[in-house]
Structure 1
Amino acid sequence: MSKKSIILLSVVAAVAAIAIVGVTVFVGYTRGYDGESEQWVYVGSNASPDDVSRELKQRLGDTGAKADKIMRLSGKEAVNGAYLIEPGMSAIDIARKISRGAQTPIKLTFNNIRTLDQLASRVGERLELDSLQFMKACDEVLPGAGFTKPTYIAAFLPDTYEFYWTASPESVVKRLLDYRNRFWNDERRAKAKSLGLTPVQAATVASIAEEETNNAEERGVVARLYMNRLNRGMLLQADPTVKYAVGDFGLRRITGAHLAVASPYNTYKNSGLPPGPIRMPSARTLDALLKSKPHNYIYMCAKEDFSGLHNFASDFATHQKNAARYRKELDRRKIR
């Protein structure tokens, strides 16, 4: 074989080898993430390249390591954000997504919220901001919108929202407030006004009704009952406000000691509505109040069957009989 032929064969072999290596590398970097489920990758605002590298490897294994290598070799940096990585995404696509800041919105869901601290904690669990930053943003935004600290909770409605993980505390508060304000349209405000209530006062009444019963069908009746007491100048004497005042929502039996607690939320001692809602009422409960039909009930007592429903009465004698049956059952079950 001639020297020229040998050189030619060597070149062909080298090209083939390079091609094989190239194909192998290409396949490796284009092969999809083979995890069984989607994964979130979080790049914090102060994350170093090494932090990003650890996050990618921990979340995505070998595919994450390759995505990190692609960014390092290309001189690109990961952008602060949260990124949803689905099975099948290649290292190249992952690197491109993270280096371009193509975040995936995060769902923020909250319900059964009683205090602003609980809401702040929930927001802090889902977004990059922390609970203290959220509370500070409330102090900066809500007073200008007409809210006081006791009524902050009325600025929000339970629901599912979408935010980018990196959303600023102020933007989160403003967006949640905007959603609440859109709920309170002219029609709902007019209905509240016809009951002699502002939206915040309506939220306060609805919050009491929501704490009184887990039965959604009863809440309108309960809310209207408290409106009847307000309109007659009676004390509300709402047990849930006492639970709020003592800080124990799990109380099953309200005692004289509880009723004597000095607190503006104790409606056994203070007339009118408490300073603000005792929980964040749902849109459904607010509408139940606004759409509630008039009735003459001013008394209510939990049913003795512990069904969660209530016996209602318009006179004290009937109420006493209802209450006696309930107390008897409490004693029988040894609930103190």
Structure 2
Amino acid sequence: MKRLLVRLLILAIFALAAMALAGWWYAQRALPLSAPVIDFTVERGSNMRQAARAIRAAGVEVDSDLLYWLARLGGKAERIKAGSYEVHTGVTPWSLILKLSDGDVSQSSVVLVEGWTFHQLRQALESHPEMKPDTAGLSDAEILERIGASEEHPEGLFFPDTYLFDKRSGGLAVLARAYQAMQHRLADVWEERDPALPLKSPYEALILASIVEKETGRPEDRGLVASVFANRLRIGMPLQTDPTVIYGLGPEFDGRLRRRHLDTDHPWNTYTRRGLPPTPIAMPGPAALRAAVRPDESDYLYFVSRGDGSSEFSRNLAEHNRAVDRFIRNRSTP
């Protein structure tokens, strides 16, 4: 009887060892894929069994029950993380489980461009092929509320940069990060501002920076462009900058600015109203932010485009009119 028990015990040990070897072999075996690269998403709140089914449904030829039990026996079944994942030819069941438990999600990127309006920013996020358009259908005010912004108008509040995000995640998360990035960057440059700056708050600096961003064709001109606007603000002279007028026109603007546009009063018309407009007109980049708070020292009050991206600066109206004749009207005056 004792010998029989010993034999049964030995057989049981061999059986367990064989099962362990079979499990290990299965765990390390490359899985067949329906394509060289497979994307799948583990939804928030999914358990390992649901994740295994989603993986199989995406085109990874894995036994979902075996994958579940392998994860459970390996102590990983309760550690999986939601997100979008990408697997390639050669992936094994165990490497797949490790990917899920480590949260090794696949990422993509989106570029927020300096000088974009919030409308352009929304379009970029909502049309991104690898981003969930969770801002679609929301008003601007609802978006600001969901990202925790206290401002009433979204323009200019987001820092232009390249942002990585988990594939299939939403644009609101990117907006929240871009908003916080601008808050931090704006706070930093405000601390470094020129004490003589004619601005009352970081938000006013943001407004001026957005104008500098839209008015500057060449980086080396930013400091002088900012100085022109700072000098005008100091003496109460209207800023008279076309980009603010264009911004206020919105969809009405057809690409050609006319005299009637300059004469029609609205909050962003800096020809008819003195001081800064009520909001930024675009997303300023770091160079425009720095120029706005520490403009170059100058006594310039005017500038005009030379047509090559650079600007001609003038101290008085007579100089400016000659520059306009030269670079805009293509004729010289004595």
TM-score (norm 1): 0.71
**Conserved in 2, the CA contact under 8 Å of 1:33 and 1:90?**
no
- The one-letter code sitting in structure 2 at the alignment partner of 1:131 is T
The residue type equivalent to 1:227 in the other structure is A
Q: CA RMSD in A?
A: 4.2
Matched, 1:327 2:334: no
Q: Deviations along 1:121-165, whole A, 9 cap, x unmatched?
A: 44453544612469524135222xxx231xx33432112334445
Contact kept in structure 2, 1:302 and 1:309, CA below 8 Å: yes
Counterparts of 1:223-242 in structure 2, within 5 Å, are: 223-242=226-245
Alpha-carbon spacing, 1:225–1:103, altered in 2? closer, same or farther (3 Å): same
- The correspondence for 1:271, drawn from 271, 274, 278, is 274
Question: Does the CA contact (< 8 Å) of 1:34 and 1:87 recur in 2?
Answer: no
Q: 1:69 to 1:219 in 2, by over 3 A?
A: farther
In structure 2, runs of 5+ residues without a counterpart are: 1-17
Matches within 5 A, 1:120-269: 120-124=122-126, 125=128, 127-128=131-132, 130-132=134-136, 135=140, 136-140=142-146, 141-143=148-150, 147-149=151-153, 152-164=154-166, 173-185=175-187, 188-191=190-193, 194-197=196-199, 198-247=201-250, 253-269=256-272
- Structure showing the higher helix proportion among its residues: 1
**Distance between the aligned counterparts of 1:311 and 1:252, measured in 2?**
23
What is the CA–CA distance in structure 1 between the aligned matches of 2:116 and 2:53, rounded to whole Å? 37
Q: Residue 65 in 1 paired to residue 61 in 2? A: yes
Aligned pairs for 1:100-139 (under 5 A) are 101-104=103-106, 106-124=108-126, 125=128, 127-128=131-132, 130-132=134-136, 135=140, 136-139=142-145
Deviation at 1:278, TM superposition (A): 0.6
CA positional deviation for 1:229: 1.1
* Aligned partner letter, 2:300: Y
Sort the Cα spacing of 1:205 and 1:55 in 2 relative to 1 into closer, same or farther, 3 A.
farther
More displaced 10-residue stretch of structure 1: 181-190 or 269-278? 181-190
Gaps in structure 1 of 5+ consecutive residues: 1-17, 58-63, 331-336
What is the percentage of aligned positions where both structures have the same residue? 25
User: Closer, same or farther in 2 for the Cα pair 1:134/1:95, shift >3 Å?
Assistant: farther
How far apart, in 2, do the equivalents of 1:122 and 1:67 lie?
39
Partner of 2:13: none
Q: Equivalents in 2 of 1:86, 1:50: separation in Å?
A: 16
Is 1:238–1:267's contact at 8 Å kept on the other side of the alignment? yes
Check if 1:90 corresponds to 2:86.
Answer: no
- Aligned counterparts of 2:217 and 2:33: Cα–Cα separation in 1: 45
Structure 1 position 118, deviation (Å): 2.9
State the distance in 2 between where 1:41 and 1:261 align.
54
The separation in 1 between residues aligned to 2:279 and 2:134, in whole angstroms, is 25
CA-to-aligned-CA distance 1:71-118 (integer Å, 9 cap, x gap):
467686985312243565334422442366443455443123533233
Q: What residue identity is the alignment partner of 1:65?
A: E
Q: What one-letter code is carried by the residue in structure 2 that aligns with 1:142?
A: A
TM-score for the superposition, normalised by structure 2: 0.71
- Secondary structure of the structure 1 residue equivalent to 2:232: helix
- Tell me how far 1:67 sits from its aligned partner: 7.6
The alpha carbon displacement at 1:298 in A equals 0.9
Residues 56, 261 of structure 1: alpha-carbon distance in 2 compared, 3 angstrom cutoff: farther
Q: Secondary structure at the match of 1:29?
A: coil
Change (3 A) 1:199 1:42: same
Residues 50/255 of structure 1: CA separation in 2 closer, same or farther (3 Å cut): farther
Q: Distance in 1 between matches of 2:206 and 2:55?
A: 48
- In the other structure, the counterpart of 2:318 is 317
Quote the Cα distance in structure 2 between the aligned partners of 1:103 and 1:323: 56
Distance, in Å, in 1 between the alignment partners of 2:135 and 2:52 is 27
